Structure 1
């Protein structure tokens, strides 16, 4: 039999047996202050003792040395494994959307692919987290996102008292320069991209390299215009439906959002005319995807592939229009934020329109329009010319 004893806030396991009617006890420190961890170890060690795999009454046996050997051999059974903890975590994570839960599942599973699905959680180290989250090939945003989700998972593991501290707490993300300005374009850049797109299409059409409407990519101008003037995320755009586009009233509703909350977005005039022409070209549909894949038909609706949209925009923006290499499709969302601020929308309005989780995210764009703020201040007489 084995029982627990607590002294100076730390638990020990006490083995007891009788020899010739005399009670003999042996106590070993478990090195933990958490009852759940201690109880788990007690159960496992008692099983090992009853199975004859350990003999705690042998003067040559030492629990700490035994655990070290188990760690070296990779055979420890004294800790719940990552795979079972992931399943329990996702089951109890009821305060988030299904999309967020899928993100947790994806990231934790990727981490388990690296350290092992049956890895005991007590053996996870800060180096394991660092090697996974701070890989060179990951973008800074991905590094931050991976660490954030793993930190939440291991906080839960700590709360369940399976480990004493969160290994993620020892990880510091490398400081990086906020390069949003390098990803932003203005309306004049948008017009340059569209001109280069038109020139490219005409050139290849004359050369008979383009032989179908699919190859003409007629969706390009209306879709990119939509991204620039609404700031919708790529997935929100490819999932957008005509039922949610109200051209007459000049607003659209975004229902398939990242945070699960619907939002209403105005349709500015440049976008209005693009969408009206696009709708007419499609036969004035009242329902269905706004940007369906060419593979769609009357019975099967297939959204456009997000990767293809991003690649096409990147091609025309950086290769044909020769704009900065840092420009990408998601930069259109950043561009929309600065466009709105420059045109008098306040930070809260921009936050609500783009569906940001907090004002902190939106405030990243305020310093980008500093020159505009100075110009407004000068116009209103708040800043006067000091050279006179």
Structure 2
């Protein structure tokens, strides 16, 4: 019969407390009988207040039982499987294992083996003699002591320690190596990916309980950590593996990760820079005034903004690595690969003018030291500033930056800007401190969009020229009266867009919001005009054409456009001529 509830009812309607079926007083530690399954054991309630434990015996195997204890210091209710059998005329109890680490089927099989050993006169645990009782926690401590100092970077060590303390459950740590299965790893991966795991986190001088956020990237990193842990054990000789015969993480399917990053546009970068450099944004480190942040945290983010450093590299920056006379910052980079030993190298970051101004101010304020942290902690000056993530989250919300923008996206944005400026990928690789060109290729998708614009500008105008009114004609040289080739369709759009802007600029501030916004966007796209017509490229011309089509759509909007303000002899004529060319290009349908 199924169990109705976990509280107040036992198997076959027998209550755990009160009076039994015969009306006699029942005690909590008197064994009851039930078919022990995982679902039943999971539903067993905790003992009432003031009671130590109670028992539940199996109906299929005499002597097989589970003992439910009062909650421990972690508010967990231990449920221990055991087996009782007569040895030399006396009943003796043998502990089998804890529910959660063992299933009911595993514990029942273990009870049968103990029974067989006792009946044959052997040691009750004889079947365990060739299997070590080493736990996953024992292996982790050995791995940490013997492998980490030479095999992992300091940042990776700190990250693995956080993972182990926050996200690895106690029941998994107590598993014997021979009991670890694929399902255990999958459960950990699912919980981390879903989020909501409670753990304690330090906030300045105290600790608070927080919940983990959903993260597929973090779930995959934890799987990689556990895989490395078991791989370390499997490299030993077979007789030293302590019951571990395979890597349970090998068959794990990793969570899908999103490799895209947020690229901050020019307006967002300008607003962020203005906020970081504004004096009214700053306060003392210990102040919690609204809309003000610790000056040290703002300085660290400002340095990341102007140099592209990783946030850990910025926080751990030492004055001995800042070379004002050379204009560089030297960062030691240590990488480890599976096919080569650890390699230490140094990357040199150029100190730009804004970064030099910032570092000079901090250096003079600190008394022009030769060594020491650039961003020391105000609570413990011998340590560096530890965490600026909370400050960044608040700044992002205050400036209305995209919610998914991470602090590391400042580095992504700088790498993208360097590539878009025309720097060679090898030069960007050296500046950013990447080990291979594959890292630079991650940022090429933004640059590729400009390549697509080039292709689209060429393909969209094949066979079209202005002399025949935009119609496709057989190829033949076309010359104007001056004896030179007539302008292409895109250059005609640029010229007419320039004329329209000239008409609108006289009353730009009085235009409707939508029209004014699109006019400013078109004017920003006309930047090559400053260098003359020869500086225009097909992609520049096509970008202007796209912006011009958006401006025309805003002007002709029946609700928020110019409407009756269109002058037939001025801006109205300019709009009409520009729309004609845009229709030939296919950028405007009607």
The normalised TM-score by structure 2 is: 0.45
Name the counterpart of 1:291: 375
Name the counterpart of 1:368: 446
Mapping for residues 28-47 of structure 1, pairs under 5 Å: none
Partner Cα distance (1:386, 1:340) in 2: 29
Q: Tell me if 1:96 matches 2:96.
A: no
Partner Cα distance (2:220, 2:140) in 1: 20
CA contact (8 A) 1:186 1:339 kept: no
Aligned mate of 1:324, from 402, 409, 430: 402
Partner Cα distance (1:169, 1:319) in 2: 41
1:256: how far off?
7.3
Name the counterpart of 1:171: 252
Q: Tell me if 1:70 matches 2:130.
A: no
SS at match of 1:287: coil
Name the counterpart of 1:122: 178
1:247: how far off?
2.4
Gaps of 5+ in 1: 1-52, 55-64
SS at match of 1:339: helix
1:329: how far off?
1.4
Partner Cα distance (1:230, 1:311) in 2: 21
Name the counterpart of 1:36: none
Mapping for residues 1-388 of structure 1, pairs under 5 Å: 69-70=109-110, 77=128, 78-79=131-132, 80-93=134-147, 95-97=150-152, 99=154, 100-101=156-157, 103-104=159-160, 107=163, 113-135=169-191, 136-137=194-195, 138-160=214-236, 161=238, 162-180=243-261, 182=262, 184-186=263-265, 188-196=267-275, 201=280, 217-219=294-296, 222-255=299-332, 261-295=345-379, 300-306=381-387, 309-316=388-395, 318-356=396-434, 358-373=436-451, 384=458, 386-387=460-461, 388=464
Name the counterpart of 2:469: none
Go from structure 1 to structure 2 and tell me whether the alpha carbon gap of 1:301 and 1:191 turns closer, same or farther (over 3 Å shift): farther
Deviation string for 1:77-104 (max 9, x for gaps)?
4243223322443455375135245555
SS at match of 2:330: strand
SS at match of 1:170: coil
SS at match of 1:323: coil
SS at match of 2:249: helix
Higher relative contact order (CA 8 A, sep 6+): 1
More helix by share: 1
Larger Rg: 2
Deviation string for 1:286-331 (max 9, x for gaps)?
43222223346xxx4332232xx22222212x32211111112122
SS at match of 1:255: strand
Over aligned residue pairs, what C-alpha RMSD do you find? 4.1
Deviation string for 1:341-379 (max 9, x for gaps)?
22333334434443445543442212132234456x67x
Gaps of 5+ in 2: 1-92, 95-104, 115-124, 196-213, 337-343, 465-590
Go from structure 1 to structure 2 and tell me whether the alpha carbon gap of 1:361 and 1:144 turns closer, same or farther (over 3 Å shift): farther
1:126: how far off?
1.3
Go from structure 1 to structure 2 and tell me whether the alpha carbon gap of 1:226 and 1:320 turns closer, same or farther (over 3 Å shift): same
1:196: how far off?
4.2
CA contact (8 A) 1:222 1:271 kept: no
CA contact (8 A) 2:217 2:255 kept: no
Partner Cα distance (2:112, 2:231) in 1: 26
SS at match of 1:168: coil
CA contact (8 A) 2:308 2:415 kept: yes
Name the counterpart of 2:580: none
Moved more, 236-245 or 248-257: 248-257
1:228: how far off?
2.3
Question: Across the two proteins, how many residue pairs are aligned to each other?
Answer: 310
Deviation string for 1:169-200 (max 9, x for gaps)?
221123243331x3x32454232024345679
Partner Cα distance (1:220, 1:112) in 2: 31
1:144: how far off?
1.7
Moved more, 113-122 or 94-103: 94-103
The normalised TM-score by structure 1 is: 0.65
